[in-house]
């Protein structure tokens, strides 16, 4: 399945992207590789420039319909932990 990156707007396979989900039950933000958590989701490419663009223009907030302040370093840490677990 193809999904659009919130940073660069390119269409890529879902498996090649990071999925960030806002849990509908408690509003927590998680990186959701296995689709167990249900809620609003946004996809990003595995590169720093896409993450930076999405954070700079508040694209994550709009896509997830939240006013949460996303900390860039925390997002990077979440992505690194996810990527390390995937390898």
What pLDDT digit, counting tens, does each position of 4-45 carry? Answer: 999 999 999 988 888 888 888 888 888 876 667 788 889 998
Which pLDDT score is estimated for 62?
86
CATH number of 2-86, picked from 3.30.1230.10, 3.40.50.1100, 3.20.20.450, 2.40.110.20: 3.30.1230.10
The mean pLDDT of the chain is 81
Contacts of 4 (CB under 8 A, 6+ apart): 10, 11, 43
> Which percentage of the chain shows pLDDT scores above 70?
83
Model confidence at 67, pLDDT cuts 50, 70, 90, reads confident
Q: What is the pTM of this model?
A: 0.78
**DSSP per residue over 17-42, as a string?**
EEEEEEETTT--EEE-SSS-S-EEEE
pLDDT of 70 strictly over 70: no
pLDDT of 85 strictly over 80: no
Q: In 10 A of CB 44, how many CB atoms?
A: 25
């Amino acid at each position: 399945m193809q999904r659009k990156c919130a940073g660069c707007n390119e269409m890529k396979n879902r498996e090649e992207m990071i999925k960030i989900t806002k849990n509908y039950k408690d509003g927590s933000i998680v990186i959701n590789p296995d689709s167990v958590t249900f809620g609003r989701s946004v996809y990003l490419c595995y590169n720093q420039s896409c993450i930076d663009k999405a954070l700079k223009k508040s694209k994550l907030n709009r896509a997830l319909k939240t006013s949460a302040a996303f900390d860039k370093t925390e997002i990077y840490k979440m992505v690194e932990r996810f990527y390390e677990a995937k390898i």
